[in-house]
Amino acid sequence: MTTTDLNRRRVLIGGAMAAAFTGLAPVIANANIVTSDYADKTLTIGLFSGDISTLASKKAVHPMVQQFARLEEGEATAVGGLLLGAGAAKPERPKEFAHTLAELKKMDPGTKFDLLYVKSEIDGHEALLKIQKQRVKEGKTGMDTTIATILVPFIESHLVMLQAVRNSMAT
């Protein structure tokens, strides 16, 4: 995947995600969907991803890492905003996430920073995908299931992009 492919995918996915969540925003704001631990688990990973992506958008040196970080920063903010706006409580950051964020903050810009960011994003997206797929598999109705259903293909495409970014750094 080239930088041009990543840009094209970024525009398509970003536009589709923005449209989907814009349409859901009024419904979510009036729904009480955040009583399950689905929102807590999704927010825990999503807010962490947003935080490290904000950092990476400023510190990353590889162009594809920079592009992905900007994309992820916006999407994590959108999803987090919807869930928090629907009444979800902001979860506490697990120690492992706090440690990774602190480590990234201390690192100088460069390949080591970029690699740790990409690895953290891959790990986070894989965990987030499991959460969304589990929610969909449960077969319950509700807005959280709708959100999970929408998120699955976005997360899968992010994993493809992250693999391409990691592969481009290896060459």
Residue 73 contacts residue 53 (beta carbons within 8 Å): yes
The pTM for the full model equals 0.82
Q: How confident is the model at residue 29 (pLDDT cuts 50, 70, 90)?
A: very low
Q: Kindly state the tokens that stand for 149.
A: 């259903």
* Residue with token string 């999407």: 75
Report the mean per-residue pLDDT for the chain. 85
- Residue range 105-121: mean pLDDT, rounded: 97
| The pLDDT value given to residue 159 | 97
Q: Is residue 54 within 8 Å of 73, Cβ to Cβ?
A: yes
Task: Say whether pLDDT at 139 is over 90.
Answer: no
Q: Are 33 and 39 in contact (CB under 8 A)?
A: yes
Asked if 84 contacts 20 with a C-beta cutoff of 8 angstroms, the reply is no
Asked whether the predicted pLDDT for residue 1 surpasses 90, the reply is: no
Assigned token pair, 39: 């929102």
pLDDT band at 7 (very low <50, low <70, confident <90, very high): low
pLDDT in tens, 47-82: 999 999 999 999 999 999 999 999 999 999 998 988
Cα atoms in the Cβ-side hemisphere of radius 13 Å centred on 153: 10
Largest Cα–Cα separation, the chain? 49
Residue 134, pLDDT > 70, answer: yes
In the chain, % of residues over pLDDT 90: 64
Contact 90, 84 (CB under 8 A): yes
User: What was the pLDDT predicted at 16?
Assistant: 52
Residue with token string 């080239």: 2
